[in-house]
Amino acid sequence: MRLKPIIMAVSLTVLQGLGSASQALTLPGVPLEPIYFEPPVIERNEQVEQLSCVGLDNTIRNMQPYRYTYKAPFYEDDANKVAAAMVTLDFIPVVQGLAGVAYLGYSATVEEKEQRRMLLVEERIALLQQIKAEKQCFE
C-alpha cells in the first residue's frame, strides 16, 4: 500500500521536470506567395498570328481531345476506395495505414495535375478562338 503514494510522487516529479524543459513553439510567418494554383496567362506570338482561318480551325480541332480527362474522378476511383479502407481498417501491421494515406495523396496530386493540363488547353483554345474572331473568320 505504501508503494502507490511513492509512485505518484515520482511521476509528478518527472512530469514537472518535463514541463519546465518544454518551450513554446513559434509559428512560421504568413507566406506572401499565393497558396492556390494560378495558371499562367498564355500570350500571343507571331507564329499564331500568322495562321490562316483554316490553320486556326485545324489547330483548335486538333486540341479538342486534350480538353477532356480520362482519369476517374477522385471519389469514383476504386483504388481510392481501397486506400481509404486501408487507412480506416489499418489491417497491414507494419505499414499501419500509411500506404493508403500516401496513395490518396498521390491520387490527389495526379488529379490536380490533370486539372491544370486541361485548364491550359482551355486557355489555349480560347486564345485561338479570340484570334479567329479578330480575323473575322466567321463571316
- How many structural domains comprise the chain? 1
- Residue 79 has, within 13 A of its CA and on its CB side, a CA count of 13
Which residues are CB-contacts of 77 (< 8 A; sequence separation ≥ 6)?
Answer: 71, 107
- 497491414: which residue's cell? 92
- For 17, the 3-state DSSP assignment is helix
Asked whether residue 78 is domain-assigned, the answer is yes
Asked whether residue 53 is domain-assigned, the answer is yes
Tens-binned pLDDT, residue by residue, of the chain (139 aa): 566 666 666 665 655 655 555 555 565 665 555 555 555 566 788 888 888 999 999 988 988 888 888 788 888 888 888 888 888 887 666 666 777 888 888 888 888 888 888 888 898 899 999 999 998 887 6
Asked whether residue 2 is domain-assigned, the answer is no
Q: 47 lies in which domain range?
A: 39-134
